[in-house]
């Protein structure tokens, strides 16, 4: 693998093109093992109230060492611009970096982003010096606007969060790739390894997933599968696939056939 | 006096600082952010910030979560 082929977002170099979430695991040990197996060095985390009543309660960061992993706080669960900004501020105050995975959710049932709110929140956070990675629709126009505002990447959904439906609109993803110059990271909807490979073969610069790994019967094994799927897709993209043809083309020479 | 800590009423004394409150509840201040009445308190001010009656205090940290 080409060691120089690294994903760089907002000046920060990622060691893997796979970014993982930290939710939905059975326990912190499983979170830790799956994260390790995924080969990812960026892990996204939610921002929530700390349990102040139970002193024995363990902390995610006891298992995911912020010195080893880059912690990407998200504004998951925020339905308003105001909440998303407040959450981003708290994350920065608690955290390690200025990166934020910005989510402004517009609908409870589909968890589709409120792109109007997203643009508004992104604008404010970019001005405040955040490295903004917005979770957005597979809409090339919105992607373009997010880039213009100064987002460090755009993260279009492949399918609804947690749905596992895969890349539902590869054509829009391709148009987004042709429209923006910042990295395009598919965020949400990946169900299995081939989905991740397809995203990478399209030319996406990275894939972010959580449920696809954590919800598998064997999350640690799936994490490893995703690691290779992302590498395979990236390599295939760089290698350049053969054109599709209707008829056969022999791969052995005709010359020297036994008569 | 009474404050509200992460949504629950709590009694603190006049000499309680944010730092001492965090210690009392067993929280490592390096991994959290503290907000009092919607204002984020700078990490360096945790030891010198006292409470006043009715303060709304939020202590937040990172938990497992990907995308909601």
Nearest to B35 among A90, A161, A214 (CB): A90
Q: What is the Cα Rg of chain A in Å?
A: 20
Residues 6+ apart with CB under 8 A from A234: A5, A17, A200
pLDDT band at residue A185 under the 50/70/90 scheme: very high
For the cut 80, the answer to whether the pLDDT of residue A56 exceeds it is no
Active site residues of A: 101
Cβ separation of B32 and A94 shorter than 8 Å? yes
What residues in B contact A62, CB-CB < 8 Å? none
DSSP structure class, residue B42: P
* pLDDT, tens digit (0-9, with 9 covering 90-100), for B1-58: 999 999 999 999 999 999 999 999 888 888 899 999 999 999 999 999 999 999 999 9
Chain B hits for A46, Cβ within 8 Å: 62-66, 68
pTM summary value: 0.92
Q: Does A99 touch chain B (CB under 8 A)?
A: no
SS3 content of chain A, % helix, strand, coil (to 5): 35, 20, 45
Confidence at B67, pLDDT banded by 50, 70, 90: low
| Residue A235 tokens, joined | 């390599």
Three-state DSSP at A158 gives coil
ipTM of the complex: 0.91
Among A46, A55, A90, the residue with its CB nearest the CB of B25 is A55
H helix intervals, chain B: 18-24
Contact A61 B67 (CB under 8 A): no
The answer to whether A200 and A19 are in contact (CB under 8 A) is: no
**Contact at CB, A23 and B33, closer than 8 angstroms:** no
* Helix or strand run (H / E) with residue B11: strand B8-11
Alpha-carbon span A194 to A172, nearest angstrom: 18
d(CA A11, CA A16): 15
Nearest residue in B to A93, CA atom = B33
Q: Angle CA(A43)–CA(A62)–CA(B64) in degrees, nearest 5?
A: 45
The encoded tokens of residue A108 equal 């409870």
Contact between residue A34 and residue A214 where contact means Cβ atoms under 8 Å apart: yes
Distances (CA, A) of B58 to A2, A45, B18, B64: 46, 18, 11, 19
CB proximity list for A30: less than 8 A, separation 6 or greater:
A219, A220
């Amino acid at each position: 693998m080409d060691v120089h082929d690294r994903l760089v977002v907002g000046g920060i170099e990622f060691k893997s093109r796979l970014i993982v979430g930290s939710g939905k695991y059975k326990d912190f040990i499983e979170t830790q093992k799956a994260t390790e197996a995924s080969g990812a060095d960026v892990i996204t985390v939610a921002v929530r109230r700390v349990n102040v009543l139970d002193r024995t309660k363990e902390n995610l960061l006891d298992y995911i060492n912020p010195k080893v992993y880059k912690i990407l706080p998200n504004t998951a669960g925020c339905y308003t611009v105001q909440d998303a900004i407040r959450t981003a501020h708290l994350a920065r105050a608690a955290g390690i970096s200025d990166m934020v995975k910005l989510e402004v959710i517009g609908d409870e049932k589909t968890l589709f982003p409120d792109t109007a709110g997203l643009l508004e929140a992104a604008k404010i956070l970019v001005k405040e010096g955040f490295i903004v990675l917005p979770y957005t629709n597979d809409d090339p126009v919105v992607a373009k606007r997010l880039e213009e505002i100064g987002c460090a990447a755009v993260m279009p959904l492949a399918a609804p969060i947690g749905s596992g439906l895969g890349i539902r609109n590869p054509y829009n993803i391709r148009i987004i790739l042709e429209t923006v110059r910042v990295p395009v990271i598919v965020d949400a909807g990946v169900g299995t390894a081939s989905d991740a490979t397809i995203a990478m073969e399209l030319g996406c610069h990275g894939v972010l997933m959580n449920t696809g790994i954590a919800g598998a019967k064997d999350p640690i094994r799936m994490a490893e599968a995703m690691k290779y799927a992302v590498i395979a897709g990236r390599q295939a993209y760089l290698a350049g696939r053969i054109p599709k043809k209707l008829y056969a083309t022999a791969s052995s020479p005709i010359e020297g056939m036994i008569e | 006096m009474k404050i509200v800590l992460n949504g629950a009423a709590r009694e603190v004394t006049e000499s309680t600082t944010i730092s001492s409150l965090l210690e009392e509840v067993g929280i490592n201040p390096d991994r959290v952010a503290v907000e009092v009445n919607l204002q984020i308190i700078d990490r360096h001010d945790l030891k010198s910030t006292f409470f006043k009656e009715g303060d709304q205090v939020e202590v937040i940290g990172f938990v497992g979560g990907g995308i909601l």
